Amino acid sequence: MALLQITEPGSPREPHSRKLSIGIDLGTTNSIVAGVREGKAFALPDLNGNCLVPSVVNYSETSVLVGQPALEKSAHDSLNTITSVKRLMGRALTDLVIREGKLPYEFLNESKTVPRIKTAKGLVTPTQVSSEIIKTLLERATATFENEVDGAVITVPAHFDDSQRQATKDAAKLAGLNVMRLINEPTAAALAYGLDSGQEGSVVIYDLGGGTFDVSLLRMENGLFRVLATGGDVSLGGDDFDSAICQWIIDSFEIEDTISSDERRAVLLEARNAKEKLVDSEFEELRFHLQGVDRQIRLTRGILEGLCAPLVEKTLDICKQVVNDAKIQMKDIDNVVLVGGSTRSLMVRKAAESFFGKKPLFDIDPEKVVAIGAAIQADLLIGNNPDSEVLLLDVLPLSLGLEMMGGLSETILLRNTPIPANQTREFTTQKDGQTSMKIHVVQGERDMASDCRSLAEFDLKGIPPLVAGAARIQVIFQVDADGLLSVSASEVTSSVKASIEVKPTYGLTEQEITQMLASSFEMAEKDASARMLAEARVEAARVVEALETALEKDGYILNDEVAESLKLGLEKLRAISRDGDYREINAGIDLLGKASEEFAALRMDMAINKALAGQKITEIEREL
């Protein structure tokens, strides 16, 4: 055994102790959890061999059902059975009514931001519903590997906006899962497909799921997966095909005005069944018992294709835009990969083939490929393959901007900018003596801010009263590697600095999440604080380990005084973590974090200079 193990930042300290990580594809219709065993990623089946967990949650007074058992309740208990919750994530109630039309649930009317659904078990938010699905997937992983899960990667549609991403992350947090990274679904698919097939070049991932559509154009070479452009629609998917068929059936029977919510759900389920069968057959006879009457109707493949054609056409328009944004020619695309359950449809395959002029590939099960990619990435991130060359470089899916005078949106970060990203803009005051300014952050491609998605709104106060145009308001947009945004604003001419961090308007607050954790249905107050204590301890151990490694390696750059005080800080945190409660531990973590900031900056500088010097050396070597 080596006496002193020197590791690079980011790589694990003990490569032989494998950690357990999972990948989760939280789908609109079905969810999947995948893991890695002996270097091979696979989707985890239940006892019957099914990998797909229907994304359905049923609430009754005494229990919460998830998956197949919940789906079975769907047709006769529609109010308490939440399906396609993904469509509700990170959205305001008003927003949902506009986007999704009539929803088969009862909402609490006064909920202005986060929608609250009335169920037999009480009010639930979409984030809570989603966390129930994550819990079920987590249980499956724990049972399969007979071990606790250390970390996870969760996939989201590339076109999820900031609040939808935040809501997904919150759901994982509620389920007690440590999310190392959110990655985009098409990127995850590219990873699984690329590593599996060893193909290189420019690849289009056409991902049509139950509720969302994404298309990404990537460049794959030497283990590097670089997204050049991405496009999509978060409310376009197989569900819309089902709804179109369902509506056609209802219209044909002329029962629009009289059909009940349970009956509508039953017709919808039958519509989906028929759609799936029509992949192999030419027509299906559908039989219903509605409003006391037996009814029958024939759905042919031709009718189906007619109903779906406008939706498929919409996906192709988006493909065109992505090829354009990527600034490459159609002929330079080497492969087209189909992902998502809805690409089983013959019509979709044919459309993709004729649009790109290439036979699309769907070698890996299009329903599992995203989860498998997520599992591969999770295994990498947790540090099980320190020598791997694989790296995902992704982009911002939707432009981010600010509302200007007159309601126009001014873009600060353009869509398809590589993330993480930073952008600073300066603005000034309009009136003499103006002491506050409204900052309204929006996301989307439209010219008018009101047509874009409103992410956050806040007032920058404490601007020194100056003549119009003299103040300098600096607004900083920062998007992290998960695609999550934070915005801060300050006035720079004066020593008075006002600054604020933004949380999405339609998200839950940190407090609400903590409260939900504490009052979570099956968790008593005691268990909740026990878990928070456990989590704080794990985090403290992580912080201690990271700082120790850093000190071991680079401690010599500090003067003795600073080094001593950091070591002292380490000991202190260790002691608090043994004896303190979770609040004390978290405070200790913050304190040590602040104390080590200067050291972190010095190390970063050193690493940068080393890397830049390295560039020069490789240059020289190449020239020799």
Partner 1 sequence: MLFGKNYFEIFDVAQTYDVDQKGLLKHYLGLQRKFHPDRYIASSEAEKRMNMQWVAEINLAFETLSNDLQRSIYLLKLNGHELEENPTLDKGILLKQIELREDLEEIKRDSNYELALTGFKKETEKDLESLKSHLKAAFSIGDSEAIKNLIYEQQFLTKLIGEIELFDQNPMEID
- Can you give the binding site for partner 1, defined by CB under 8 A? 8-12, 180-181, 224, 226, 317, 320-321, 324, 380-383, 389, 391-393, 417-423, 478-481, 542-543, 545-547, 550, 593-594, 596-597, 599-601, 603-605, 607-608, 611-612, 615-616, 618-619
Question: Token digits for 379?
Answer: 């295994």
State the Cα–Cα distance between residues 308 and 21, nearest whole angstrom. Answer: 39
Q: CB neighbours (10 Å) of residue 110? A: 7
State the Cα–Cα distance between residues 305 and 348, nearest whole angstrom. Answer: 9
* Local structure of 328: helix, strand or coil: coil
* CB closer to partner 1 out of 256 and 590: 590
Write down the least CB distance from residue 597 to partner 1, Å: 5
- Would you call 459 a catalytic residue per the annotation? no
DSSP for 525-548, please give it.
HHHHHHHHHHHHHHHHHHHHHHHH
- Would you call 25 a catalytic residue per the annotation? yes
Q: Which of 77, 86, 214, 263 is catalytic?
A: 86
Write down the least CB distance from residue 278 to partner 1, Å: 32
CB 57 within 8 A of CB 81: yes
Write down the least CB distance from residue 600 to partner 1, Å: 4
Q: Which of 162, 207, 284, 379 is catalytic?
A: 207
Write down the least CB distance from residue 618 to partner 1, Å: 8
Write down the least CB distance from residue 11 to partner 1, Å: 7
* CB closer to partner 1 out of 258 and 324: 324
- Would you call 102 a catalytic residue per the annotation? no
* CB closer to partner 1 out of 111 and 586: 586
Phi, psi for 44 (deg, rounded to 5): -85, 125
State the Cα–Cα distance between residues 98 and 267, nearest whole angstrom. Answer: 23
CB 209 within 8 A of CB 52: no
Write down the least CB distance from residue 69 to partner 1, Å: 36
* CB closer to partner 1 out of 130 and 596: 596
Q: Which of 77, 132, 161, 185 is catalytic?
A: 185
* Local structure of 237: helix, strand or coil: coil
- Would you call 480 a catalytic residue per the annotation? no
* CB closer to partner 1 out of 24 and 245: 24
State the Cα–Cα distance between residues 462 and 206, nearest whole angstrom. Answer: 49
DSSP for 20-75, please give it.
-EEEEEE-SSEEEEEEEETTEEEEPP-TTS---EESEEEE-SS-EEESHHHHHHTT
420 cis-preceded (ω within 30 degrees of 0): yes
Q: Which of 25, 132, 214, 242 is catalytic?
A: 25
Q: Among residues 370, 419, 371, 424, which one has the least CA distance to residue 397?
A: 419
* CB closer to partner 1 out of 181 and 275: 181
* CB closer to partner 1 out of 113 and 411: 411
Query: How many CA atoms does the CB half-sphere of 597 hold within 13 Å?
Result: 6
State the Cα–Cα distance between residues 152 and 140, nearest whole angstrom. Answer: 14
Write down the least CB distance from residue 212 to partner 1, Å: 21
- Residue positions annotated with a catalytic role: 25, 86, 185, 207
